[in-house]
Amino acid sequence: MKRVLILAAVASVCCWAQPDRDCQPAPSNAGGALYPCIHSDLRVTFRMVAPDAHKVLVATNNTDSGIGKGPVELVRDQSGVEVPEKGTDFYDVQNVPHGDVHIHWYRSKTTGSWRRAYVYTPPEYDRNAGTRYPVLYLQHGSSENGSSWSRQGRAGLILDNLIAAGKANAMIVVMETGYASQPAAADREHRAMAGLSMGGAQTVQITLSHLDKFSWIGAGTAETAMHDGAKAMHEALDKAGVKNVFYESQSTAHEFQTWRRDLADFAPRLFQPAPPAAELWKFDRIDQIGGHKTTVLGHPRVIDSPVGKAVEFNGVDDALFVDVHPLAGAETFTWEIVFRPDPGGAPEQRFFHLQEKDPKTGEDTATRMLSEIRVVDGQWCLDSFADTGDQSRALLNRERLHPLGVWYRVAMVYDGHELRNYVDGVLEGSGELHLIPQGPGHSSIGVRINKVNYFKGAVALARMTRAALPPAEFLKLPSQPSPGAQR
């Protein structure tokens, strides 16, 4: 939907009528100003004094042929109006602890002049004088300055909300006028740099020349040539085996709504401790799995099988719950399960579920990953699903059917841009997905997390690896008896 700007030139500033109830003052207005105002359909009405004007032109920073896909601001050095994006609050003021943005003057040895930096410090910073915080250096774009990320980008509010939600580590953010930037003194593992447009180019130039000083690097652009170059670099890094993430903001342009989304995606990835390369869960006992205590529902039992010890579920009321999300924080992963689906179960059965929790409320979010089966004509097919709250992908191929009562290796693989699922090393389905790393949560085996869709069969092993493995590196199974001859 394109947004329409309506301009009404009037001859006097006095006696302006109140906006109609459908048109509310823009949040970017000066205090008490009624105009510009925003309609419920996102049209914007302006009023201005221009008694001698012959023509009134409105320019925006959006490259769309209409007026704006995200927040609309007029060209630089002129007044602007913020049109809020419906259903989005990650950059709004919320009822959470807030940090501060300070103006810091310093003498630059590089330029020989006094310079000004805007510095965000997280909540509780002043009370924790002995704590050393990691630092993100955040660069602005051309014709902007050190205040741009704080004022237009709302970087401080984005960090406040992420930190309060437990999605990002507390950090210092330095926002400088980026025409003569230089690395500051700190250890590499606690220093990051990122930038938009011109600032993105500066970031790449500085960090790649100082990889001994930066461990986290981010660069953003929406200009076609630079965007294509960034995507080509992403593909080249993937081929070289260098860990990286390529994020695209949907339905925005070369504007601050793009950069806000970039920061909201980038900040949670920073300064995370290196997780274990892989976590192996053996189902050889009921009271704990993979070293984690379990909550037992019903009467699942440990059995001997051709693949070793396993836990068998009756498909009615048996399940195990573990208060751990083994892939929380993973940017790429391989999730493998060795299991046996048995005859006599329901048409839809969930045998493994990983679920994120809201750190403030303890309630389940919409973010989850799951593995289940669908029974079709006495056989089964694999249903793999991942949901980040904003995007989701289901992989279900009802034509790839397999006999029940047999042990299988299934896998879900995410490489940073594509989700794939496999049965016994054979690709079943794939699809593009931007999967934001999930937060801490819990897991269920033998049932959906809300105790429906019980699984009839057995689970012997699960391995969660924080890397996208090729099929040649998947778990192996010993040879098995023919279908129907084994249990």
What single string gives the DSSP state of each residue in 323-355? S--TTTT-SSEEEEEEEEE-TT--SEEEEEEEE
Q: Are 96 and 164 in contact (CB under 8 A)?
A: yes
Do 59 and 130 reside in the same domain of the chain?
Answer: no
Do 65 and 13 reside in the same domain of the chain?
Answer: yes
Instruction: Please check whether residue 93 lies inside any domain of the structure.
Output: no
Instruction: Please check whether residue 487 lies inside any domain of the structure.
Output: no
Comparing C-alpha atoms, which of 236, 231, 233 is closest to residue 248?
231
Asked if pLDDT for residue 184 goes beyond 60, the answer is: no
Find the mean pLDDT for residues 405-414: 97
Rounded to two decimals, the pTM is 0.54
Do 316 and 428 reside in the same domain of the chain?
Answer: yes
Percent of the chain with pLDDT over 70: 85
Token reading at 45: 């009405």
Do 263 and 283 reside in the same domain of the chain?
Answer: no
Asked if pLDDT for residue 469 goes beyond 70, the answer is: yes
Asked if pLDDT for residue 409 goes beyond 50, the answer is: yes
- 469 or 223: whose pLDDT is higher? 469
Do 39 and 155 reside in the same domain of the chain?
Answer: no
Instruction: Please check whether residue 383 lies inside any domain of the structure.
Output: yes
Do 231 and 263 reside in the same domain of the chain?
Answer: yes
Residues 6+ apart with CB under 8 A from 459: 283, 310, 311, 313, 337, 338, 339, 340, 351, 352, 445, 446
Confidence of residue 479 (pLDDT cuts 50, 70, 90): low
Q: How far apart are CA 168 and CA 166, in angstroms?
A: 6
Asked if pLDDT for residue 186 goes beyond 90, the answer is: no
The average confidence (pLDDT) of the chain is 84
Q: What is the pLDDT of residues 268-298, one digit of tens each?
A: 989 887 666 789 999 999 999 999 999 999 9
Least confident among 14-18, 39-43, 105-109, 368-372: 14-18
Find the mean pLDDT for residues 351-372: 94
Last residue of a domain, one of 269, 302, 333: 269
Instruction: Please check whether residue 454 lies inside any domain of the structure.
Output: yes
Asked if pLDDT for residue 441 goes beyond 80, the answer is: yes
Last residue of a domain, one of 213, 247, 269: 269
Percent of the chain with pLDDT over 90: 49
Instruction: Output the domain CATH number for residue 185.
Output: 3.40.50.1820
Q: Residue 409 burial by CB count (10 A; 0-12/13-18/19+): exposed, middle or buried?
A: buried
Helix, strand, coil share of the chain (percent; to 5): 15, 35, 50
Q: In what order do the strands lie in the sheet with 172-176?
A: 100-107, 114-121, 172-176, 135-139, 191-196, 216-220
- Show the domain range for 41: 1-87
Token reading at 94: 């919320």
Instruction: Please check whether residue 230 lies inside any domain of the structure.
Output: yes
- Structure confidence at residue 383 (pLDDT): 98
- Structure confidence at residue 478 (pLDDT): 67
Do 168 and 78 reside in the same domain of the chain?
Answer: no
Instruction: Please check whether residue 481 lies inside any domain of the structure.
Output: no
Do 263 and 293 reside in the same domain of the chain?
Answer: no
- Structure confidence at residue 1 (pLDDT): 34
- Structure confidence at residue 30 (pLDDT): 65
Find the mean pLDDT for residues 421-447: 95
Last residue of a domain, one of 218, 242, 269: 269
Most confident of 33-42, 88-97, 193-202, 309-318: 309-318
Do 106 and 176 reside in the same domain of the chain?
Answer: yes
Asked if pLDDT for residue 329 goes beyond 60, the answer is: yes
- Structure confidence at residue 419 (pLDDT): 97
Token reading at 329: 């924080």
- Cα of first residue to Cα of last residue in the chain, in angstroms, is 58
Q: Residue 368 burial by CB count (10 A; 0-12/13-18/19+): exposed, middle or buried?
A: buried
Instruction: Output the domain CATH number for residue 290.
Output: 2.60.120.200
Instruction: Please check whether residue 479 lies inside any domain of the structure.
Output: no
Confidence of residue 61 (pLDDT cuts 50, 70, 90): low
Least confident among 29-33, 152-156, 331-335, 377-381: 29-33
Q: Are 217 and 243 in contact (CB under 8 A)?
A: no
Q: How far apart are CA 61 and CA 82, in angstroms?
A: 12
235 secondary structure, DSSP code: H
Confidence of residue 164 (pLDDT cuts 50, 70, 90): very high
| Domains of the chain: total | 3
Asked if pLDDT for residue 340 goes beyond 70, the answer is: yes
Strands 402-403 and 392-396: unpaired
Least confident among 23-37, 314-328, 381-395, 453-467: 23-37
Instruction: Please check whether residue 92 lies inside any domain of the structure.
Output: no
Do 131 and 78 reside in the same domain of the chain?
Answer: no
Do 131 and 168 reside in the same domain of the chain?
Answer: yes
Least confident among 40-54, 223-237, 418-432: 40-54
Do 320 and 295 reside in the same domain of the chain?
Answer: yes
Confidence of residue 57 (pLDDT cuts 50, 70, 90): low
State the number of CA atoms in the 13 A half-sphere of 15 facing the CB: 3
- 326 or 185: whose pLDDT is higher? 326
